[in-house]
Amino acid sequence: MCVAIAGGALRGASAFGAGSIACHTRNRAAPRVFFFHGMEVFWTPRAKDNKSLVKLLREEGAVKSDRVACVMEKLDRALFIAEGERNLAYMDCPMQIGFNATISAPHMHGSCLELLNKHLQPGMHALDVGSGTGYLTAAFALLVGDQGRAVGVEHIPELVEQSIKNVKRSPAASLLEPGVLSLHVGDGRLGWPEHAPYNAIHVGAAAPQVPQPLIDQLKPGGRMVIPVGEGAQELVVIDKGPDGSLKQWTASSVRYVPLTSKDEQLRGGV
């Protein structure tokens, strides 16, 4: 679940879920929690509340801007986690949410919001593929505001139902009714053509290749952030130029659950 440590810096990928394996220096003053998973010892810094978690992410460099810090402070991560596990909400690691899915680690939420920040301006359209708990879709909705649109697509109906309940408890709740924020059951590999083109597309699960419908639904001038790969994975950033040309670069090495069919996911063990 969390990350192996040696000498105060991250050394390995998380065994499960969405976490970065980029090497960050951790805040030595932050309390740490140790986990035993199989024979390995995992640790993670643990903040006392959501505000302290965001402060920690700023110190680590995952969150850089006031705008991203502000939206993450507004969206208390505990609201997106099952009641019985909320004591673990402020640790910087992914957590199981059932159905072989996870809520991504806070540093991945922060990094992806930073990468997409310029493409999440008021009035813009954003797509969140593999929306899971709805955390990032809610963040997108707060950033694009009431003239924009944030669409989440998730293929597990129970997770979509739960994500709507999560959002209803959050400051993004008022954006559900007017349709600024919507969460749908569907195969995210097909995108969500109804509200395309999108200025920002985020994919929360690793694809073997970038799905063509997502490229097609990206607006000229827009940006997609997508983990790609089946064993080793990279967080790939795709910028579509005003003329439709594509530029691609890698932000970091990561470990996400696969972007796959619902049956395959339910069969697999995450």
Do the beta carbons of residue 115 and residue 251 sit within 8 Å? Answer: yes
CA neighbor of 170 nearest in space, from 145, 139, 149, 201? 139
Among the listed ranges 30-38, 57-65, 133-141, 192-200, the one in contact with ligand SAH (CB under 6 A) is 133-141
Cβ at position 190, least distance to ligand SAH in Å: 8
**From the DSSP assignment, how many helices (H) and strands (E) are in the chain?**
7, 14
104 is catalytic: yes
Residues 137-156, one symbol each (x = binds ligand SAH by CB under 6 A, - = not), give ----------------xxxx
Active-site hit among 104, 111, 131, 163: 104
Does residue 224 bind ligand SAH (CB under 6 A)?
A: no
* Rounded least distance, CB 123 to ligand SAH, Å: 23
AA identity, residue 178:
P
The site map against ligand SAH for 10-49 (x = CB under 6 A) is --------x-------------------------------
Q: For residues 25 and 209, which CB has a smaller minimum distance to ligand SAH in the complex?
A: 209
Question: What is d(CA 227, CA 173) in angstroms, rounded to the nearest whole number?
Answer: 28
Cα–Cα distance list, 222 to 151, 167, 176, 200, 263 (Å): 15, 26, 24, 6, 32
Beta strands in the chain (DSSP E): 5-6, 9-10, 19-20, 32-37, 40-45, 95-98, 101-103, 125-129, 149-154, 181-185, 198-203, 218-228, 233-240, 246-255
133 binds ligand SAH (CB under 6 A): yes
Site residues for ligand SAH, window 99-128 (CB under 6 A)? 99, 101-104
Q: How far is the CB of 235 from ligand SAH (least distance, A)?
A: 13
Give contact residues for ligand SAH (rule: CB under 6 A): 18, 99, 101-104, 130, 132-133, 135-136, 153-156, 159, 187-189, 204-205, 257, 259-260, 265
